[in-house]
Structure 1
Amino acid sequence: MDIVIELRQLTKRYGGTTAVDDLTCTIEPGHVTGFLGPNGAGKSTTLRLILGLHEPSGGTVTVDGVRFRDHARGLRHVGALLDANDVHAGRSATAHLTALAVSNRIPRRRVAEVLAEVGLSAAARRRVGGYSLGMKQRLGIAAALLGDPPVLLFDEPFNGLDPEGVRWVRELFGRLAAQGRTVFVSSHLMSEMEHTADRLVVIGRGRLIAEERLADFAARSANPRVTVRTSAPTALAAALVGAGGAVDTDSTGTLTVTGLAAERIGELAAVRGIAVHELYTRTSSLEEAFMRLTADSVEYQAGEER
């Protein structure tokens, strides 16, 4: 498939507000690329620009080298879930998907196939107005898959899903990427993105902050901490501080050390004959790395007066 999404100096302004600001990045096939940013960062606007739902104020965005609107029968090229509630409540899932199939010249057999894939076969003829949010998310994913497209965009696909549904979506995205598709997923749920994406595009106030592998993003902003349990916390803490480490001691005597690697801590304890009962390193989670790198891009800070 090898179809990429390319954003080149993409900009979108609404009056005096710049929602997307000179954004340049490439979303590649064969990966689940997570799209992260604080609230108001411009993520949803960017997705709409990719799909041609908004017109750029400047720059370009292409799918396989051309604008999305220039692709005939769009659902065969890009499948998207932007808003799970954007479905006529009086229609059944079958009617909704059939209308999409007919308008995009997609074989009607695909309707039953994608409903089965997302687990909605038994509810296919029920009115969507009676669906839970999780069921609507599954229907939105079915619509995205309908044309068997090489490119897939999802905005907050985990909302409303129970743990089984979240696991299913995570595995689905992984399978789609393994097939060589381009999978671009926007979400504010860091714990899920940490287990779903292998690449990241991170923006703040509409501008690019990072475009790299998830592991590299976390490592670049990591502040490793080593937890140590020992029979002599006071003596070991003094030795670690003397070696240039920073040490916090909790009420149980457990040490949290920064500035020294676990190997060095073990060596210092051994030289002094101090027994170590537990020693392990904890690096930053995706959420911690994200919060650190986007701190200057948060539009509304809790506790701020405006």
Structure 2
Amino acid sequence: MIEVNELSKRYGGTSAVEALSFTVRPGQVTGFLGPNGAGKSTTLRMILGLHRPTGGSVTVDGRPFHERPRGLRHVGALLDAHDVHGGRSASAQLSALARSNRIPQRRVKEVLGEVGLADVARRRVGGFSLGMKQRLGIASALLGDPPVLLFDEPLNGLDPEGVKWVRELFRRLAAEGRTVFVSSHLMSEMENTADQLIVIGRGRLIAAESLAEFSARGTRRSVWVSTRDAAALRDVLVAEGAAVDRAGDELTVTGLTADRIGELALRHTVPLRGLHTRSASLEDVFMELTADSVQYLAGASR
């Protein structure tokens, strides 16, 4: 379990993280979301003891991580796939980590096989693609068979097969009772993978709840309608104050419920082929709830 309590980090007059509190529990995949500059990486580094907090505290299974000897047995982490010695082989890289953490050398071969790098174990890491380095970083995190795992953008550079494999890996690790904390900007993957979400903006907590609870907070729901009299129905719905996008015989309607659209279609004798409500996607809800927290906005005036 990871417990963050009133955690803050300031750099001079700039606040990167401000009074942040949340808990990441075992047995589930917890996604860590926020716009660029929200403080996600700073928070992860404070969890691992790489940055000292200005205020507050963070513990891993009840203790600050920096107090634990042989840390890879307690927490496995992938923060930067490029943070490896390019002149070493994959096997040598993991062997050095194993020795420094008193992990049996047999684990090196085991984790290289698990992440799909057994055939390139003796190749120099400097010649690896980004996706291969991501796999090596995941192998490093798994090396000590730890109960807590942190991943920062683990899907960068992976092909579709690799993305599917990582998704299944995270779910398996969580099913084993481990704490799995994943920072990612890929909303579709978080939608497919995460059970719980921690969402921050400008260093402050926006949400700490289940994926379903967070998705339900969105207000941008729409209704899909199919009818051969799309033009006529569009005029009726617009007159009722709805916003309507038309694509052939299909309409996307916001501002009216599916029940109300059905009533209006019946009243105006417009036959419907299909009618259902579309819930907002995770990306839609995220964009809506973090709109005031975006630090780097494309197209913003200078």
TM-score, normalized by the shorter chain, greater than 0.5: yes
1:156 to 153, 158, 163: 153
| Separation (CA, whole Å) in 2 of partners of 1:34 and 1:284 | 18
**1: distance between equivalents of 2:126 and 2:229?**
64
- The Cα shift of 1:68 comes to 0.3
Q: CA RMSD in A?
A: 1.6
Cα distance change, pair 94–234 in 1 and its aligned pair in 2 (3 A): closer
Shift, 1:253, TM fit: 5.2
Paired-residue identity, %:
69
Would you say the 8 A contact 1:247–1:255 is kept in 2? no
- Equivalent residue for 1:277? 273
Aligned mate of 2:289, from 282, 288, 293: 293
Return the alpha-carbon distance in structure 2 between the equivalents of residues 137 and 27 of structure 1.
23
| Conservation of the 8 A alpha-carbon contact between 2:238 and 2:244 | no
Q: Which SS does the other structure have where 1:35 is aligned? A: strand
Task: Name the residue aligned to 2:136.
Answer: 139
- 1:302 aligned to 2:298? yes
Asked if structure 1 preserves the Cα contact closer than 8 Å seen for 2:230 and 2:246, the reply is no
Pick the aligned partner of 2:172 from 171, 175, 193: 175
* Matching residue of 2:216: 219
Asked whether the equivalents of residues 245 and 257 of structure 1 are also in contact (C-alpha less than 8 Å), the reply is no
Asked if 1:27 corresponds to 2:27, the answer is no
Aligned length: 302
Opposite residue 302 of structure 1, the aligned amino acid is: A
Between the aligned partners of 1:299 and 1:240, the Cα distance in structure 2 is 37
Letter in 1 for 2:261: I
Instruction: Name the amino acid aligned to 2:200.
Output: I
Aligned to 1:37: 34
1:62 and 2:59 equivalent?
A: yes
**Paired position in structure 2 for 1:256:** 252
**TM-aligned CA distance change 1:47 to 1:271, over 3 Å:** same
Q: Does the 8 Å CA contact 2:242/2:253 hold for their aligned counterparts?
A: yes
SS in 1 for 2:216: helix
Once residues 186 and 234 of structure 2 are traced to their aligned partners in structure 1, the CA distance between those partners, rounded to angstroms, is 37
Q: Distance in 1 between matches of 2:168 and 2:89?
A: 27
* Distance in 1 of aligned mates of 2:250 and 2:243: 10
Tell me how far apart the structure 1 counterparts of residues 228 and 126 of structure 2 sit (CA, whole Å).
62
Q: Which residue, out of 198, 203, 207, partners 1:201?
A: 198
TM-score computed with the length of structure 2 as normaliser: 0.95
Give the unaligned 5+ runs of structure 1.
none
Alpha-carbon distance in structure 2 between the residues aligned to 1:290 and 1:297: 11
Hey, what does 2:261 align to over in structure 1?
265
Aligned counterparts of 1:24 and 1:59: Cα–Cα separation in 2? 9
2:288 maps to a residue whose letter is R
CA distance in 2, matches of 1:238, 1:305: 37
Aligned residue type for 1:131: F
Once residues 135 and 87 of structure 1 are traced to their aligned partners in structure 2, the CA distance between those partners, rounded to angstroms, is 12
- Structure 2: any 5+ residue segments left out of the alignment? none
Tell me whether 178-187 or 226-235 shows the greater mean CA deviation.
226-235
Secondary structure at the counterpart of residue 160 of structure 1: coil
Is the Cα–Cα contact under 8 Å of residues 237 and 247 in structure 1 kept in the other structure? Answer: no
Equivalent residues of 2:32, 2:199 under 8 A apart = yes
**Structure-1-length-normalised TM-score:** 0.94
Counterpart position of 1:6: 3
**Stretch deviating more after TM superposition (190-199 or 94-103):** 190-199
Whether the aligned pair in 2 keeps the contact of 1:226 and 1:257 (CA below 8 Å) is: yes
**Residue pair 1:12, 1:20 contacting (<8 A) in 2 also:** yes
Question: Which residue, 124, 127, 133 being the options, matches 1:130?
Answer: 127
